[in-house]
Structure 1
Amino acid sequence: MPLSMFFKDARNVFKKDELGIEIAQIALPAALALAADPVASLIDTAFIGHIGPTELAAVGVAIAIFNQVSKVAIFPLVSITTSFVAEEDTKERLHIEAQKDENGDKWFPVSKEKDVEMEELLPQSDSTSKSSFTDTSFGKMADLDNKRRYIPSASSALVIGSILGILQTLFLIFAAKPILNYMGVKSDSPMLMPAQKYLTLRSLGAPAVLLSLAMQGIFRGFKDTKTPLYATVVGDASNIILDRLFIFDFRMGISGAAIAHVISQYLISLILLWRLMSQVDLLPPSIKDLKFERFLKNGLLLLVRVIAVTFCVTLAASLAARHGATSMAAFQVCLQIWLATSLLADGLAVAGQAILASAFARADYEKAMSTASRVLQLGLAMGLVLSVVLVTGLQFASRLFTEDAGVLHLISVGIPFVAVTQPINALAFVFDGINYGASDFAYSAYSMVLVAVVSIACLCALSSTYGFIGIWIALTIYMTLRTFAGFLRIGAGMGPWGFLNN
């Protein structure tokens, strides 16, 4: 039965077998790369905080705007790219392996197969003519290890990422002031000028941000998360060094902070592009090969999903703010911890997505079932460990964020929800990766919209009745419904998981 898949080889969940090692090699670097940016942002904030409180507040608003606008474009692009690249890379390898079996250690491009057949029709005695035909028709044949692969989705992702990056830059430059006004930074606010300056300069790095993340999606599709990790660490390290240089030595203030960040993002993009060009032929034979229609169709589905997720979390923050500054401060601390712990689960989700996309492309359903079972079991185990750590540690760690007695009291109220929901959160994020690996984008979008509708109703009702506690009860319901949606799809053997019923 499909339900039995969740318990498949549960005793081997931590076993260092081939699958366990493959998951670890993808998940750990991915989690570290995801954690690198928040750490660099904290250091960034520390530098800016020494300029002045007004500048710190202004930059905080500008970064929030930049991140929200970027998230709308980044998440669908990266998720789709990973699945499509993994699928196409697997099919390319299968074709090359078949050619090697037929022709020895050499491979022939698909488009040259007819030339191979034509060569075989030449007289065997005419070795000179045959050699000449081979040289003119095929050029040099390379071994698989030295071959630059042609992955149409990789080229498509770079084109789409570049276009979206340029559009984001133009949008933020020309709409910076109206957006800041909407965010509460009015014309008479001392934060307006520094926030507008920082946002305008930071927006120049948008093409690099989207390009680098598109390339991270490509490398994830190749099951290579180490290259993005190295590039991210180098870029973030340069950002920290340039922050110190531009802000204090050159006395450029928040302009220096923005320029340092932009330079670091272009550095990350150049490193990834250099590595990618050595592995992939990025120039498509024609525009038709870019498959934009496939990207746009599934991208719009995930865009709907991102909007639904973002709206739920934003509404929760808005409702907390209506209960006063103390409630909002406590909610913000609890929410950041709640979200930060999801980085580890995201690493597992990336591993599950890449391996599953490859398994489905090979029609290797046994591998797909084993991978889904293992990452879900690992996610549950990790969530349980995080629950114990947070329950025991947050009571003491909360004083690192504030000394206000009222805020500390509300944080202590929120801690049980933050801790107890960790297993649910981990499973929800891993289910997302599994759905993307199966290219089940439509179900991910529609189920999330339904979850959001129910969750929004719960947030409004419980917040007005139970206040701060009500918000966290509603968020717990929200994550539980997300997990149940993933559980239902696989447990009932629906969609791409129909093979489980056989």
Structure 2
Amino acid sequence: MNQAPTTAGRDRPALRRHDREIVALAVPAFGALVAEPLFVLADSAIVGHLGTPELAGLGVAASLLMTAVSVFVFLAYATTAAVARRVGAGDLPAAIRQGVDGIWLATALGAALAAAAIPAAPALVELFGASPAAAPHAVTYLRISALGIPAMLVVFAATGVLRGLQDTRTPLYVAVGGFAANAALNAVLVYGAGWGIAGSAWGTVLAQFAMAAVYLGVVVRGARRHGAPLRPDMAGIRACAQAGVPLLIRTLALRAVLLISTLVATRLGDEEIAAHQVVLGIWTLLAFALDAIAIAGQAIIARYLGAGDAAGARLACRRMVRWGVVTGVALGVLVVALRPLILPLFTSDPAVQEQLLPALLVVAVTQPLSGVVFVLDGVLMGAGDGPYLAWAMLATLAVFVPAAFAVPALGGGLTALWWALGLMMAARLVTLWLRARSGRWLVTGAVRA
């Protein structure tokens, strides 16, 4: 890859090239991210017609499953950065070999997690507080769906391989195809075969393995084309695991923030927790748009650093920060404009709407800040700066916890809780911005030393 222009007279063409790259990677990535939660929505729509206990059981099992699996998203993040560095260095065989090592790690972790989840399903469902009517359905769904965990983690890792190869279109096609297959299989197995909630679980498992098979086919073809070995390499797998540990810590700390916010909301009252769930869902949807830019940042930054072009990486970082701000402003304006539609769409209860509106406005106001946070998070992931991200997120958690628990203690409401979440994002911004300004993340080479 040619180095990006760095002189003042040539910055403008470089910025236009960055814009094209960001759009080309971010738009398909956004489509793939949005397609993922549609799996659960399709399952809910089909299972919901079986009865309330079945739908409640699905809700419990799906929450447990997604919480367990989501902490392994580092398989995608770490693989993206490692593969893209080698792409930037011009060594495609090594890039694909790195991706294959990530897939082997995902397979091993998935098998271990599934083996633990299947026998533990009844205890987990009981711990989650499922009702006696819903618990049997939750256990059935969780035990069957756990069989698909290895495929889900392989999809994470393989998605990272393709993102590292600067390909976000294939993950979009696979995600859309997987959603369609999941919906069709669920309908056939739940109603056509009469399997009930077990049919929904089996449909999802089959769709997940189909997605994993498509990804593996793409990776295997690439490996054969470039002469990259497919056999497991223990040294490479250990390196993938070591790179993933800091990102795992970061993800766990972030999940802790969201769980604590929900815990605090439950202490505020029924109207508050109902409104909180709606606002959190909207915040998550907005996060997909911002995360798409972060994914582009991971792939682009790692490629520049792999090519030894620190100046190009810094220029790309600045451009993506501007994209984050602009996108955040646009999303905030969109939330404010749509608020008359959002409130009645989610609830007709005036008490819940009263809680929902000011919290929603906090989300809108803080979107530009969130845009910069997501972008810088992606940039540092692309640079392989996982240890710093882990410590930064732990420090952010330390800021958020006392602020969150102070809300009910001081008589605050849901709006105050969302301002505490805004403080959390501000703390993340400070830590990430300081790191980005320092330039210590600009470590070049095919492998981060």
TM-score, reference length from structure 1:
0.82
List structure 1 runs of 4+ shifted beyond 6 angstroms: none
1: CA distance, partners of 2:103 / 2:304? 25
Q: Is the 8 A contact 1:27 1:350 kept in 2?
A: yes
2: CA distance, partners of 1:495 / 1:259? 44
> Match for residue 394 of structure 2?
449
1: CA distance, partners of 2:253 / 2:344? 33
Residues 1:486 and 2:432 aligned together: yes
Aligned-partner SS, 1:17: helix
Q: 1:408 to 1:12 in 2, by over 3 A?
A: farther
2: CA distance, partners of 1:150 / 1:40? 31
1:394: Cα distance to partner? 1.9
1: CA distance, partners of 2:330 / 2:33? 20
> Match for residue 5 of structure 2?
none
Q: Is the 8 A contact 1:462 1:473 kept in 2?
A: no
> Match for residue 433 of structure 1?
378
Unaligned runs of 5+ in 1: 1-7, 97-147
Q: 1:18 to 1:469 in 2, by over 3 A?
A: closer
1: CA distance, partners of 2:341 / 2:233? 58
> Match for residue 270 of structure 1?
213
2: CA distance, partners of 1:286 / 1:390? 47
2: CA distance, partners of 1:362 / 1:154? 18
1:25: Cα distance to partner? 1.1
> Match for residue 133 of structure 2?
190
2: CA distance, partners of 1:44 / 1:409? 31
1:434: Cα distance to partner? 0.3
Q: Is the 8 A contact 1:27 1:348 kept in 2?
A: yes
2:183 corresponds to which letter in structure 1? Answer: I
Q: Is the 8 A contact 2:90 2:307 kept in 1?
A: no
Q: Superposed, which structure 2 residues align to 1:215-294 within 5 Å?
A: 215-281=158-224, 283=229, 287=233, 290-294=235-239
Please provide the CA RMSD for this pair: 2.1
Q: 1:16 to 1:453 in 2, by over 3 A?
A: closer
> Match for residue 153 of structure 2?
210
1:495: Cα distance to partner? 4.2
> Match for residue 89 of structure 1?
87
1:52 corresponds to which letter in structure 2? Answer: G
| Residue number among 337, 341, 351 corresponding to 1:406 in the alignment | 351
1: CA distance, partners of 2:43 / 2:294? 28
2: CA distance, partners of 1:221 / 1:65? 30
Residues 1:66 and 2:90 aligned together: no
2: CA distance, partners of 1:292 / 1:259? 30
> Match for residue 474 of structure 1?
420
Q: Is the 8 A contact 1:212 1:269 kept in 2?
A: yes
2: CA distance, partners of 1:244 / 1:384? 40
Q: 1:262 to 1:284 in 2, by over 3 A?
A: closer
2: CA distance, partners of 1:256 / 1:325? 34
Q: 1:253 to 1:261 in 2, by over 3 A?
A: same
Q: 1:457 to 1:285 in 2, by over 3 A?
A: same
2: CA distance, partners of 1:493 / 1:24? 25
Aligned-partner SS, 2:333: helix
2: CA distance, partners of 1:44 / 1:425? 31
Q: Is the 8 A contact 1:421 1:476 kept in 2?
A: yes
Aligned-partner SS, 1:190: coil
| Residue number among 312, 325, 331 corresponding to 1:380 in the alignment | 325
Residues 1:31 and 2:26 aligned together: no
Q: Deviations over 1:60-115 (max 9, x none)?
A: 01000000110122x2211110011111233344xx8xxxxxxxxxxxxxxxxxxx
Q: 1:372 to 1:453 in 2, by over 3 A?
A: same
Percent of aligned positions that are identical: 29
2: CA distance, partners of 1:285 / 1:274? 15
1:217: Cα distance to partner? 0.4
1:497: Cα distance to partner? 7.3
1: CA distance, partners of 2:107 / 2:250? 22
Q: Is the 8 A contact 2:105 2:241 kept in 1?
A: no
Residues 1:352 and 2:304 aligned together: no
Q: Superposed, which structure 2 residues align to 1:105-254 within 5 Å?
A: 151-185=96-130, 189-254=132-197
TM-score, reference length from structure 2:
0.92
How many residues matched?
432
Q: Deviations over 1:146-189 (max 9, x none)?
A: xx666331121111000111111111101111111111126xx1
